[in-house]
Amino acid sequence: MSILKTVSRGTAVAVLISAALAIPQAASAKTVIRVQSVIPTGADEIVMLKDFGEDVKALTDGEVVIEVLPAGAVVGVQETLDAVDSGLLEGGFAWTHYWSGKHPAAMLFGSPVAGAGIGIDNIAFMSWYLNAGGKELYDELWTEMGMNVKGFMLQPAGPEALGWFKEPIETMADFRKYRFRTPPGIPGQTYKDIGVASVAMGGGDILPALEKGTIDAAEWCCPKPDSVFGFQKVLKHYYLQGLHQVVVNADLYINGDVYRSLTPLQQKALEVAANASLMKSMAYRINENGIALDKLVNEDGVILHDTPDDYFTEYMAAAAKALEQNAAENPFFKKVWDSQKAFAKTAVPYWAQAQRTNANLGEAYADTLKKQ
């Protein structure tokens, strides 16, 4: 081979490489996951959901984008999970106990009534979920429900307030005078079991129902989300201590086919962002609820009350009965509840004792503020 031919071929290769480098490279494929919420876009939960979305976008270098849609944008609130299952929506955002009609065990993840009847608060629940088999059972739930869904727990919120009333309630007899908005599923049914006129409805329907007189009293969540909804505009008597949702978690649902189409790294990014959201949500809520409660009481004329003593005994007894009945009727419900009970046997005695220090410390400081 001559030197000329060698140089020519070398030049040709160099030209081809240069040409290839000059061609704009195709952008990485982007996956947009439209997530329809079951609540209005102004709610605190949507603020935190969008923050989660920003984490996912950053962790995937912009390859996975979470687009939040308001309630009813594509389907009705009650059709949200079915739309994710079918692929009509790539994602949904709600509380898993909303789907208790599809499987009673959904309640044990979204809102285990009265702390699952075994003394679990939201921090202890996170320990069970992340460290004692809860996440694996949560994944199993969707198979039990026949749903093509991958779920991610994002936002713990409990303990939730008992709720808002027109007049003070001193006994359960006073409570039973009111038509009371409750969450769906077993927590709401337990109110019916103790004689309260429980009316289940979505978050966006509560304030209009109060203004129209369809209901007389209501619960939603906690001081900040409640004040965003505007309860203080129509009701002034507020009770913080409630048992129906001592533990409550808002979740993201992704269509199973969409989730499986993601790369392993993108799937891990969703998991990491979801786990981060659990802690970020707790931090957000403590601060925001404290600020909101101070404003409700000191600026908006809301009167804070202690919940009547007979509420606790009546509700706990009814909740225990409902849990036992569902465990007897549904094997997977029993499997999940047995797991929670096994965890609680050692975790709750420790955590309850440890929490006394925190409660006493906080009460002592709160008392000094009252004297100022």
Over residues 279-325, the pLDDT tens digits come to 999 999 999 999 999 999 999 999 999 999 999 999 999 999 999 99
Residues 131 and 255 in one domain: yes
Q: How many CA atoms lie within 13 A of 225 on its CB side?
A: 27
Residues 208 and 328 in one domain: yes
Residues 71 and 134 in one domain: yes
Residue 96 and residue 249: Cα distance in Å, rounded?
Answer: 8
359 occurs within a structural domain: no
16 occurs within a structural domain: no
Residue 328 and residue 30: Cα distance in Å, rounded?
Answer: 47
40 occurs within a structural domain: yes
Residues 232 and 222 in one domain: yes
| Cα-only R_g, the chain | 25
325 occurs within a structural domain: yes
122 occurs within a structural domain: yes
153 occurs within a structural domain: yes
**Residues flagged as binding site:** 160, 181, 219-220, 245
Answer left, alpha or beta for residue 230, where phi above 0 means left and psi between -120 and 50 means alpha: left
The H-or-E segment that residue 251 falls in is strand 249-255
66 occurs within a structural domain: yes
The pLDDT of residue 184 is 79
Residues 314 and 337 in one domain: yes
Residue 77 and residue 89: Cα distance in Å, rounded?
Answer: 12
Task: From 255, 275, 246, select the one nearest 355 (Cα to Cα).
Answer: 246
The pLDDT of residue 14 is 45
User: Which regions in the chain score pLDDT beneath 50?
Assistant: 1-27
Pairing between β-strand 91-95 and β-strand 31-37 as defined by DSSP bridges: parallel
208 occurs within a structural domain: yes
Q: Is the dihedral of CA 364, 365, 370, 372 positive or negative?
A: positive
Q: Can you give the residue range of the structural domain that contains 134?
A: 31-157+248-286
Residue 332 and residue 336: Cα distance in Å, rounded?
Answer: 6
**Residues flagged as binding site for substrate:** 160, 181, 219, 245
The pLDDT of residue 130 is 97
Task: From 249, 222, 205, select the one nearest 106 (Cα to Cα).
Answer: 249
The pLDDT of residue 140 is 98
Domain at 112, CATH number: 3.40.190.170
Of 235, 263, 286, which marks where a domain is finished? 286
Residues 255 and 149 in one domain: yes
As for how many domains the chain has, the answer is: 2
Domain at 210, CATH number: 3.40.190.10
Q: Please give the structure tokens belonging to residue 90.
A: 């790539």
The pLDDT of residue 29 is 77
Residues 222 and 310 in one domain: yes
Q: How many CA atoms lie within 13 A of 119 on its CB side?
A: 14
Residues 102 and 225 in one domain: no
**Residues flagged as binding site for Na(+):** 220
Residues 188 and 90 in one domain: no
Residues 75 and 146 in one domain: yes
Residues 175 and 87 in one domain: no
CA 151 vs. chain centroid, Å, equals 11
Residues 192 and 202 in one domain: yes
175 CB contacts (<8 Å, ≥6 apart)?
169, 196, 308, 311
Residue 94 and residue 165: Cα distance in Å, rounded?
Answer: 26
